Structure 1
Amino acid sequence: MRAFFEGIQWLFENIFFALHDFLRALELKNWVAANAVNWVFMAICAVAIVYWCKQLKLHKDNGEEYQDTTAQSFLK
């Protein structure tokens, strides 16, 4: 049974966390390169938010947006 759990440990430490170990070692050499992943995700989120806001405005201008002030039908 011990070998089974040691196999799981080996799998996670050597396979699944290899990218994390690489980024940790890279951070000591070049901070910008190590955090490039974060900058990419922030850029993707910024583009998605701008697209979402444009779509909301488009639907509001067309009058397609349903705005009901009550939260539930039983509150009317």
Structure 2
Amino acid sequence: MKDFFELIASLFEDVLFVPFDAIRELELSSWFAANGLNFIFILIGAVAFVYWMLQLKKFNDNNEEDRSVKAHVFLGKNAKY
């Protein structure tokens, strides 16, 4: 059983964490290069946010949402019909 857990530890340390080790080494020479992946994720998130807001505006301008009180009765216990 001990060999099984050592195999799992070896898998993570020697194989799966190699990219993170490379990024850690790169960070000593260039902070911007090491954090490039974070910048890419931030850019993807910003683009997705803008796209989502434009889609919401399009649906809002077309009045496609049911804004009656009955449609949102689940929002509160004291909602009146």
Tell me if both proteins adopt one fold, taking TM over 0.5 as the criterion: yes
Matched, 1:72 2:74: yes
Give aligned pairs, total: 76
Instruction: Write out aligned runs for 1:51-70 (5 A).
Output: 51-69=51-69, 70=72
CA distance in 2, matches of 1:8, 1:44: 33
Unaligned runs of 5+ in 1: none
What's the offset of the Cα at 1:67? 2.6
Runs of 4+ in 1 over 3 A off after TM superposition: 68-71, 73-76
CA distance in 2, matches of 1:38, 1:45: 11
Q: Which residue of 2 aligns with 1:40?
A: 40
1:26-45 CA distances to partner (integer Å, 9 max, x unpaired)? 10011100000000000000
TM-score with structure 1 length normalisation? 0.88
CA distance in 1, matches of 2:21, 2:45: 25
> Matched residues, percent identical?
46
CA distance in 2, matches of 1:43, 1:27: 20
What's the offset of the Cα at 1:62? 0.3
The one-letter code of the counterpart of 2:58 is: L
> Over the residues paired in the alignment, what is the CA RMSD in angstroms?
1.8
CA distance in 2, matches of 1:18, 1:68: 55
CA distance in 2, matches of 1:38, 1:15: 22
Instruction: Write out aligned runs for 1:6-17 (5 A).
Output: 6-17=6-17
